[in-house]
Amino acid sequence: MSSENIHTLVVPKILNGTVIDHIPAGRALDILKVLNITGGEGWRIAVLLNVESKKLGRKDIIKIERRKLTSAEVNVIALIAPTATINIIENFVVVEKFKVNVPEVIEGVIRCPNPTCISNKEREPVKSRFRTLSKDQLIFRCEYCSTIVTRDDILKLIIR
């Protein structure tokens, strides 16, 4: 094996599905968790962790065969990996490519950590609703009780 081939990753292309690229290093497994992907679904899934990236230094990549993400799933990915790009693959060709975007308002995706917030009361049919204060640092404020949620809180607050 030549030294040139030692640094080459060989991951087969997928016929149809989704590739999530430019995930900050170490976040791919979090994304699989929030998408409820366990590996038992029968789809081919490739997960690359800590690969070299000119843009990020290091990044993760997820390839999911036979799965197209919903807009709600893309919004959740944006909360975990705001630098991610989504590639939709059909017949081995990228037919759509876009960057995730942290929405200005996040409704029904993360729960408020304040137990007295109206969105946590069972008798009140109110979905959680957060306003984005910082897309770079991922800081959000509950629109009902003004509780602040940061990047570090997101994974434990995602509603599944």
Which stretches of the chain drop beneath a pLDDT of 50? Answer: 1-3
Residues 6 or more apart whose CB falls under 8 angstroms from that of 20 comprise 28, 31, 61, 62, 63, 64, 77, 81, 84, 85, 86, 87
Q: What is the structure's pLDDT at 3?
A: 47
Q: What is the pLDDT of residues 46-88, one digit of tens each?
A: 999 988 888 778 999 999 999 989 888 898 899 999 999 999 9
- Share the mean pLDDT of the chain: 88
